[in-house]
Structure 1
């Protein structure tokens, strides 16, 4: 009786442990998953992902666009007409407007010629009675109808020609309304015209070294509350020998200025906790390093937030050089400080600490 009594508690304890086994394993599994999730949440990723492990030209182009080729996009999503017309250079925009205007008049002039020049009353008094002259007369009548100028020298005759002229006048109203909206959008779109130094440098900073670059506002409009973020992208090797791209946030000496009237040299002090500590130019090249920069600020004319992007590749970093001062060191007759924008890229050799 005594031995059987002692065996019951042992069996009960064993059954209880066995019952807790799967539950404990489930708890451990959840704890492990939570730790992995926490690690993923803390992993810095700028949106490029870690699988970009091949050496590419750069992640961010010099004009701030992303060096990403998107395939299998929809036609309208790919051309994105409004965005392109708003952001393309002025010369291209004006060239497109002029080309579309001339081609539209050529199309309508051709339609008038197909309907017959005799349906354009007064055309014989405007242009020579030759094939080219009559077509140019139809072209000029089309331009007057498209712009709703209507000098009255030529007028349509008949239902078909008058109907075509009515359609063209409506087309002209829509066209110029669209062009006016695009012009307003281009003029009213605030843009941060920030000029970056051609190269970044490794230069002495206090009693250590620092990674530096310099910026300046190219235009007279003021930017306030300017903030800058810098990240380092480089390839690293896992334990299994595979490579992946990792991103580090670089701590700057100063990340924000309230006013930005002159140049600003941004410095990342290379301390013991910096990812650039004891780094060499060869290591930067081997890891395909790139410094990614994001700048934000408020443009005071429109009171809107503007931003720009830039990057420095490993071969755009000069070692043992520092930036020369951009100030003239003197005041002019009106007491204003002189800053020479052409000196933004000028450096001079210096010994590293």
Structure 2
């Protein structure tokens, strides 16, 4: 009974980021390079898969504007076709000289009704045309209310642009070596109370069973009050480090990955922001030292060159 309780307590205290121990496939990252979890869901309900609000908030601005334009044109074409089926003679002011001009007059009347502009040159006559125009005005009010809400949500949503160096380095540090990577806030707005955590994940085999294990790595500094320039994250590889004794070969055999989680407060939105990143074992450079990014402009300011975030020199390790 005592042994069972000990095993239960050990399992309870085992570190796990939420990925579990069975994700052991070769060459498969747990976190993709864009910071997303590398998990694809199947068997979802259509509503859960669609996830409309999240999709419309998170898609790129170009896709968002093209989607709005597509919906706008689709609605106008649909209502123009309805007016055309009812008969353009029920739209006073339509140019009746040819079919082409009749349809486009119906289309632009639809645009005026949808946006509630109403220039007055064309007006519906009879119940059917007036009813469709009323429905279109309602559809327009709803559509623009939704678009306005989405625009507000997109503008008010904090979107941190934290850049990470392409490679993590194994570099000389004091009288030992250290695992280092560099990060910087690309935007001009400020992030305060910035925190970073680093987890070393690798596959271990015991009694013929492969399980993924997770080890939190102690950082030289895990929090800063201000984040105005670049920040080099350092984990000293001492004898008590879970990374101690690892080589490129052992890391490759264990499908090792280093997962990073950052969080801070964006002073523009006064809201929490976070960013994820990871380095796979083959993205480590053994024997490197980052080049400086910060320099004085010779007057009263400092220059932070973001283009240098990935630059490093090859050096000998301790």
TM-score by structure 1 length? Answer: 0.88
Q: CA deviation at 1:282?
A: 1.1
Answering whether residue 260 of structure 2 is matched by residue 289 of structure 1, we say no
Q: Which residue number corresponds to residue 310 of structure 1? A: 277
Instruction: Please give the alpha-carbon distance, in whole angstroms, between the structure 2 residues aligned to 1:74 and 1:245.
Output: 30
Taking the aligned partners of 2:23 and 2:274, their CA distance within structure 1 comes to 25
- Structure 2: 5+ residue runs without aligned partners? none
Structure 2 distance, partners of 1:57, 1:153, is 63
Aligned residue among 291, 306, 313 for 1:341:
306
Task: Work out which of the residue numbers 35, 39, 58 in structure 2 matches 1:68.
Answer: 39
From the superposition, tell whether residues 168 and 34 of structure 1 become closer, same or farther in structure 2 (CA, over 3 Å): same
Instruction: Map Cα deviations across residues 98-152 of structure 1 (whole Å, 9 max, x no partner).
Output: 111111111111111111111111011xxx7322221111110000000000001
Q: CA deviation at 1:32?
A: 3.1
Distance in 2, Cα, partners of 1:122 & 1:344: 64
> How far did residue 302 of structure 1 move?
1.5
Q: In the alignment, what sits opposite 1:254?
A: 221
Residues 262-281 of structure 1 correspond to what in structure 2 (within 5 A)?
262-281=229-248
3-state SS, counterpart of residue 39 of structure 2: coil
Equivalent position SS for 1:123: coil
2:189 is matched with which residue? Answer: 221
Instruction: Report the CA distance between 1:332 and its aligned residue.
Output: 3.8
For residue 34 of structure 1, report the CA deviation from its aligned partner.
2.4
Q: Where in structure 1 do 4 or more consecutive aligned residues deviate above 4 Å?
A: none
Equivalent residue number for residue 163 of structure 2: 195
1:52 to 17, 20, 23: 23
**Aligned pair 1:186/2:154, yes or no?**
yes
Equivalent residue, structure 1, for 2:289: 322
Native 8 Å contact 1:332 1:338 kept in 2: no
Report the secondary structure of 1:91's partner residue: helix
Aligned-residue offset at 1:56: 4.1
Cα distance, 1:57 vs structure 2? 2.9
Task: Say which SS state the counterpart of residue 78 (structure 2) adopts.
Answer: helix
Q: Corresponding residue for 1:23?
A: none
Q: Tell me the distance in 1 between the aligned counterparts of 2:100 and 2:287.
A: 70
Tell which structure's C-alpha radius of gyration is larger.
1
- The one-character-per-residue Cα deviations of 1:177-203 (angstroms, maximum 9, x if unpaired) are 000000000000112210001111111
Q: Deviations over 1:51-96 (max 9, x none)?
A: 1121243111111111101110011111101001111111111111
**Alpha-carbon distance, 1:224 to partner:** 0.3
Q: Distance in 2 between matches of 1:277 and 1:164?
A: 73
Match of 2:89 in 1: 118
Show CA shifts across 1:142-186 (max 9, x none): 000000000011111110110000000011001000000000000
Q: Which has the higher helix share?
A: 1
Number of paired residues? 318
Match for residue 115 of structure 2? 147
> In structure 2, do the counterparts of structure 1 residues 319 and 140 end up closer, same or farther at CA, with 3 Å as the change threshold?
same
- What is the distance in 2 between the residues matched to 1:332 and 1:121? 72
RMSD between superposed Cα atoms in Å = 1.0
Structure 1 counterpart of 2:124, from 152, 156, 165: 156
Structure 2 CA distance for aligned equivalents of residues 332 and 344 of structure 1: 22
Assess if the C-alpha contact under 8 Å between 1:58 and 1:67 holds in 2: yes
